[in-house]
Amino acid sequence: MRYLAALGALCFLASSSLAPAQIQVSAQMERSDYLLYERVDLLVTVANVGESDLILNNEEGHPWLSFLVTKHNGLPVHQERTSTFKPISLKAGENKTLRINITPLFSFREEGQYNASAVIDLPGEGQIVSDSIPFTVMRGRQVWTQTRPVNGADIVYSLIRFSPQPDRTKLYLRVEDPSENTVLANLALGDLVAYIDPEVFFDPQGNIHVMQPIAMSTYLYTRADAEGKILHQSVFKTYLEVPPRLTKLDDGSVVVQGGMEDNSDIIRESLSQGQKKPDSPAPPPMPGPSDSPDATNSPVTPPNPGP
């Protein structure tokens, strides 16, 4: 009965989108395949096709923008949380495009094919629904994993191969806290040469160091903190037929030996900055987890396992 009611609501929304309105809404995605727990951006374009200016805002706590996500069989996907978007103003003939990360909002936490639509709520006009955009969620292939204690919790680190496009394979870093049922980070480090696995080490401060081949005789080095935020990346190349390799020293610090850094302005020792001096300032991290659906690295809560 619950599914029938939800399907009825979908049919009502679809029919209401046919009513004449001052607003037109369209949606698109930059690609169709996504790794499980990866950020899924929906690009929503809102156009004012009327002859007067318009403001879209949240009246009485009801959001002017929402989303519908369904499985390939048409059944709706449960929305885990709602989000209130800032009001936008549109002059006559103007359009604006918003980039919305829908991953934190919906529980598409398993492999499969999905469809997503944007919904605009207009007082007196009903709800206007965009075309449905298909996308696929996949698991990828895990090439390395390790569990480490961090602040009293056992954190799981994984490196995963995934091809977001048919002709490209990327290496992803995933950081999970099983005790909180939360994915702290799930981001692409960069391209990866097929069938060659990366090197991985941790330093005494809990930073993870990864060296991955990205092309012939070319390697990408990444250092990320314990929560998966990237602190540093640089490219190394084979030099005098010696490729770069990660090496762990007696004190636990990690350095790159062999090869040559592609950027000659960067001093080699900077790659291990902060390993021996925890009190020294670290390089500025990339934007981290946030409650906003627009965040680069929003935490994701996987579904609780069934009985």
Q: Which residue has the higher pLDDT, 193 or 130?
A: 130
Number of C-beta neighbours around residue 99 at 10 A: 11
Looking at the fold, whether 197 and 250 belong to one and the same domain comes out as yes
User: Would you state the pLDDT for residue 196?
Assistant: 83
Range with the poorest average pLDDT among 157-161, 249-253, 275-279: 275-279
Q: What is the pLDDT of residues 79-92, one digit of tens each?
A: 888 888 899 999 99
How many beta carbons lie within 10 A of that of residue 193, not counting itself?
A: 16
Q: Of 137, 153, 181, at which residue does a domain stop?
A: 137
Residues 129 and 18 in one domain: yes
Indicate if the pLDDT at residue 109 is higher than 60: yes
Collect all residues with Cβ–Cβ distance below 8 Å to 107 and sequence separation of at least 6. 77, 78, 79, 80, 303
| Residue 58 predicted with pLDDT over 90 | no
What average pLDDT does the segment 50-61 reach? Answer: 84
CB neighbour burial string for 144-167, b if at least 16 within 10 angstroms, e if fewer:
beeeeeeeeeebbbbbbbbbbeee
- CATH number of the domain where residue 112 is located: 2.60.40.2970
Regarding whether 153 and 122 lie in a shared domain, the answer is no
Kindly state whether residue 180 falls inside one of the protein's structural domains.
yes
DSSP string, the chain: -HHHHHHHHHHHHHHHTTS--SEEEEEE-S-SEEETT---EEEEEEEE-SSS-EEE--BTTB-SEEEEEEETTSPBPPB----PPPPEEE-TT-EEEEEEE-TTTB---SSEEEEEEEEEEETTTEEEEPPPEEEEEE--EEEEEEEEEETTEEEEEEEEEEEEETTEEEEEEEEEEGGGTEEEEEEEEEE--TT-PPEEEE-TTS-EEEEEEEETTEEEEEEE-TTS-EEEEEEEE-BTTB--EEEE-TTS-EEEESSEES-TTS-GGGGGTTSS-TTSPPPPPPP---SSTT-TT--B-PPPPP-
Tell me: do 148 and 262 sit in the same domain.
Answer: yes
Q: Does 157 lie in the same domain as 256? A: yes
What is the band of 279 on the pLDDT scale with cuts at 50, 70, 90?
very low
pLDDT grade, residue 20 (50/70/90)?
A: very low
Identity of the residue numbered 134: P
Q: Are 55 and 22 in contact (CB under 8 A)?
A: no
Residue 302 belongs to a domain: no
Q: What is the pLDDT of residue 164?
A: 82
φ, ψ of residue 10 in degrees (nearest 5): -60, -40
Given this model, what pLDDT does residue 110 score? 86
The Cβ of residue 3 has, within 10 Å, a number of other Cβ atoms equal to: 10
Tokens found for residue 27? 């949606």
pLDDT higher than threshold 90 for residue 61: no
* Minimum mean pLDDT range among 77-86, 131-140, 242-251: 77-86
Highest mean pLDDT out of 53-57, 144-148, 195-199: 144-148
Chain-wide mean pLDDT for the chain? 81
**Cα 236 to chain center, whole Å?**
26
Q: Same domain, yes or no, for 91 and 113? A: yes
The closest of 112, 41, 28 to 70, measured between CA atoms, is 112
- Residue 277 predicted with pLDDT over 50: no
Banded model confidence at residue 165, pLDDT cuts 50, 70, 90: confident
- List phi, psi (to 5°) of 302: -65, 160
Domain co-membership, 130 together with 146: no
What CA–CA distance (Å, rounded) separates 92 from 272? 55
Q: Are residues 163 and 78 in the same domain?
A: no
The domain tally of the chain equals 2
pLDDT recorded at residue 62: 78
When pLDDT is averaged across residues 125-147 and rounded to a whole number, the result is 93
pLDDT surpasses 70 at 7:
no
Q: What is the pLDDT of residue 60?
A: 67
Structural domain ending residue among the three candidates 88, 104, 137: 137
197 and 88 housed in the same domain: no
Decide: pTM greater than 0.85.
Answer: no
> Are 131 and 151 part of one and the same domain?
no
pLDDT band for position 3 (50/70/90)? very low
Domain range enclosing 71 = 2-137
115 and 233 assigned to the same domain = no
| pLDDT beyond 50 at 306 | no
pLDDT in tens, 119-135: 998 766 788 999 999 99
